[in-house]
Structure 1
């Protein structure tokens, strides 16, 4: 069983941009829904396509994750099956503490920007960069799957004040 150990943060400045070493456009769709249930996602970039299953654990920072490379044509067919979609540009960063990425969302989720760090040990010390704001790890309404169903533009508590964009 593979585990995803991840923490997530709102991004509050553009200082992360100088750490970006590559980026990719991602289109992802959610084939299942439900808080606390297994999430089935299909993701496509220009070079790859994946089918991913994620299941919760007792720790909001840790999930079971099973990811499989699939043919691009299969990804296209699966994406056509669901209106629950998220489009974003993922920036891979050269930043200590784990595998850092910054997702810049498009469409109804713009101008949302979220940083994620995947780590191998949840107990390891982590220095949070200054461009990270409020931690949103475990906030179900801000997961990618939830944003595919109810986008950032519809989340009144955040988008009305637009305090994190």
Structure 2
């Protein structure tokens, strides 16, 4: 088991794009969602699937367990998805030694770009990249589970 500690930010510019190290296309969906736990299936690049169980109500620090799932079975289970199936491209961007995962959402969430930073230490504000916008850590409406159930929290103007 790994304790997940993460910060989440809206992304307000595309200045991160030149620093992309890798990208992966993700299709993810939820089989169960409650305020204190979720069961998610994620298919990466159409080649591999992973089941993730998350426990705890603190969005910044939860207990997380992950298991590989046969791809065909993951695709079959998509019919049991709760809410919307999320489609996004995750870009890995390094800034000052920290790895940011920048998710560019597609389909019904088109236009939403969110960056996550998982690290054991608190990164000082002056160490954060300028392309980050407002921090939304702990805002339930920006959790992937909430996005699947409720859609886009606020459209840009």
* TM-score normalised by the chain length of structure 1: 0.86
Matched residue count: 154
Counterpart contact for 1:5–1:122, Cα < 8 Å: no
**Offset, 1:88:** 0.4
CA RMSD between the two structures: 1.7
* TM-score normalised by the chain length of structure 2: 0.90
Answer 1 or 2: which has greater strand percent: 2
In the other structure, the counterpart of 2:96 is 96
**Offset, 1:83:** 4.5
Counterpart contact for 2:6–2:61, Cα < 8 Å: yes
Cα 1:33–1:83 change in 2 (3 A) is closer
CA distance in 1, matches of 2:62, 2:147: 18
**Offset, 1:114:** 0.3
Q: Deviations over 1:137-160 (max 9, x none)?
A: 1111110010001111xx3xx21x
Cα 1:151–1:116 change in 2 (3 A) is same
In the other structure, the counterpart of 1:21 is 21
Q: Which residues in structure 2 correspond to 1:1-165 (within 5 Å)?
A: 1-35=1-35, 37-46=36-45, 47-56=47-56, 59-84=58-83, 85-119=85-119, 121-123=120-122, 125=124, 127-152=127-152, 155=153, 158-159=154-155, 162-163=156-157
**Unpaired runs of 5+ in structure 2?**
none
**Unpaired runs of 5+ in structure 1?**
none
Q: Deviations over 1:29-58 (max 9, x none)?
A: 0111122x211000001232100011125x
